[in-house]
Amino acid sequence: MNISDVHQAPTEPALSNREVRSIMFGVMTAQMLAAIDVTIISPALPSIGRDLGDVHLLPWIVTAYLIVSTALTPLYGKVADIRGRRVVLLFAMAVFLLGTLACALARDMFLLVLARALQGVGGAGIFALAQTIIGDIVPPRQRANYQVYTSAVWMIANLLGPVVGGVLSEYMHWSLIFWINLPIGIPAMLFVNARLKRLPRHERPHRLDLIGAFLLVVAASLLMLSLNYGGKTGWLSPQVIGLFASAMLFWALLVWRQMSVQEPLIPLDILSNQVVRTGALTMFFVMGSYTALSIYLPMFLQGVSGLSVSAAGIAIIPLLVFTSAGAGLAAFTMNRTPNYKRLPLIGLGLSTLATLALAMAPQPMPFWGVMLALTIISIGCGALFPVMNVCLQSSVAPHQLGTTMSLVFFLRSLGAAMFVALAGVLVVSGGSEGSAIRDAAQATTASVADLSAAFSIVFYICAAVFAIGGYCFYRLEQRPLEMHQPRRRAAIDDMKEEPKPE
């Protein structure tokens, strides 16, 4: 039987509530595995730098994962449409665990970066398929009741990841942050395989833009390399100019490919919608700055505030968890005022000012001051996310919704990769301040004043990027949402409703 026959086959019987909960638990188990890996790595970065050396490659531990997962996310959805969700999700989990094993065994920085890229291949599939499977098994009217599970996964990951990463790095060895995934991940694969056998099948044909994915990975990697070597050999050196020119060539080839291929990796035509275009840029800048802060703040807290590795992991929890408070406040106010852009604009403005306070305050900054700034940044960013979600849902036709959200997720991940790399280059690779960061990561002498100056660069960059993101959101066209009331109400309910007991 060919794919078209499968697509036209009769719809399978509806799943019972018990079967839906069982499948959901399996999906959330897979997502928890990848979510904790995202949050557990940042407190361990200084320990990895001291142990493996070659601190110039330290930002690549994060950016290699982000680049690969960003490029492959659109492909996973199409492959899952062709081959089925369960098989593709199990493949992604297997690759993720293989990459985890390679990370644990890595004995130099280059091998660790390659292993993190392999992890990104698997992580992209885990995140891409989670929401797709929820859409397969839960009717739209009930979908809001199950979204709380995804929020709970990220809340737990944001709480446990930094603490576990800090404790393991300080009292044992940083490689344990990868080893612990194996005894969790292997049973999780068996559990997912058993639970997803009842998953409905909705296969349909797609054209895979593998060339586009290849061009994207090469273009992004060359740009990152040009930034990395620019801090070491000089920004006008022939090596850097050659890398940057090559990156621009591959970006141009990527744009040409997306404009000429029948089913592109990145649907450029949808960017003609002003809300989608401006919203995607907003998320590109805001998530880029937010991710860079979450990665480099533990290093700042250890080197400048004098916290231990485990204490630094605990200290960044406000930045990670108070986004939920901001999202809840935005959902509450959006349902009661037509000017739904006001609160996110205020939040992004306060996030910019709080980040500037981190950059300009006398160092070492009081601990309570750091915590207050992180809380403000987190709430401010959190207020943007639900409003942006509703704006995007209300601005496109229902058949464009999946494509739109995939595009925004893609640009959001690309922004995170770009700005983590840029911040890392400026503080790890360049100038006397960069030398201070290298000294701290390599356990040599570095004064608190030098470290403060180095991290001020990061905070100034993040504040500027927050401001650019806020300007993009200010330019976003505020369309009346009442004409899309059912979708608006569903999006708000996704953030407010709790699962109802049977």
Please check the confidence at residue 415 and state whether its pLDDT lies above 60.
yes
Residue 276 and residue 352 in one domain: yes
Residue 115 and residue 55 in one domain: yes
Residue 259 and residue 291 in one domain: no
Residue 477 and residue 397 in one domain: yes
Report which of residues 183 and 233 the model is more confident about. 183
Predicted local confidence at residue 102, as pLDDT: 93
- Pick from 227, 230, 287: which is nearest to 413 by CA? 287
Please check the confidence at residue 463 and state whether its pLDDT lies above 60.
yes
Predicted local confidence at residue 491, as pLDDT: 43
For residue 242, the enclosing domain spans 210-264
Report which of residues 147 and 410 the model is more confident about. 410
Angle at 185 between CA 181 and CA 189, to 5 degrees: 170
Name the band, by pLDDT with cuts 50, 70 and 90, for residue 25.
confident
Q: List all residues 6 or more positions away from 239 whose beta carbon is below 8 Å from its beta carbon.
A: 229, 233
In a domain, 3, yes or no: no
- Name the helix (H) or strand (E) containing 302: helix 274-303
pLDDT tens sequence across 434-447 = 444 444 444 444 45
One-letter amino acid identity for 124?
Answer: A
User: Where among 196, 227, 250 does a domain terminate?
Assistant: 196
Q: Are 462 and 295 in contact (CB under 8 A)?
A: no
Residue 250 and residue 381 in one domain: no
Residue 173 and residue 155 in one domain: yes
In a domain, 204, yes or no: no
One-letter amino acid identity for 191?
Answer: F
In a domain, 415, yes or no: yes
Residue 234 and residue 290 in one domain: no
- Pick from 454, 431, 288: which is nearest to 358 by CA? 454
In a domain, 5, yes or no: no
Predicted local confidence at residue 11, as pLDDT: 43
- Pick from 26, 76, 155, 139: which is nearest to 413 by CA? 76
Residue 235 and residue 304 in one domain: no
In the chain, the percentage of residues whose pLDDT exceeds 70 is: 73
In a domain, 201, yes or no: no
- Pick from 122, 136, 26: which is nearest to 75 by CA? 122
Q: List all residues 6 or more positions away from 126 whose beta carbon is below 8 Å from its beta carbon.
A: 30, 31, 33, 34, 89, 92, 93, 96
Residue 476 and residue 350 in one domain: yes
Please check the confidence at residue 477 and state whether its pLDDT lies above 70.
yes
User: Where among 196, 219, 249 does a domain terminate?
Assistant: 196
Q: Are 118 and 95 in contact (CB under 8 A)?
A: yes
Largest CA distance in the chain: 70
Report which of residues 367 and 496 the model is more confident about. 367
In a domain, 437, yes or no: yes
Q: Are 29 and 159 in contact (CB under 8 A)?
A: no
Please check the confidence at residue 465 and state whether its pLDDT lies above 80.
yes
In a domain, 386, yes or no: yes
User: Where among 173, 196, 219 does a domain terminate?
Assistant: 196
Name the band, by pLDDT with cuts 50, 70 and 90, for residue 351.
very high
Helical H segments across 54-108, by residue range: 60-83, 85-105
Across the range 352-379, mean pLDDT stands at 85
What total of structural domains would you count in the chain? 3
Residues in the chain: 502
pLDDT tens sequence across 265-286 = 777 777 788 888 898 899 899 9
Most confident of 129-143, 229-243, 385-399, 450-464: 450-464
The Cα 380–Cα 350 span in angstroms is 7
The Cα 258–Cα 211 span in angstroms is 10
Residue 69 and residue 85 in one domain: yes
In a domain, 421, yes or no: yes
pLDDT tens sequence across 189-225 = 887 777 777 665 555 566 777 888 788 778 877 877 7
Report the CATH number at residue 94: 1.20.1250.20
Residue 258 and residue 277 in one domain: no
Residue 252 and residue 273 in one domain: no
Name the band, by pLDDT with cuts 50, 70 and 90, for residue 231.
low
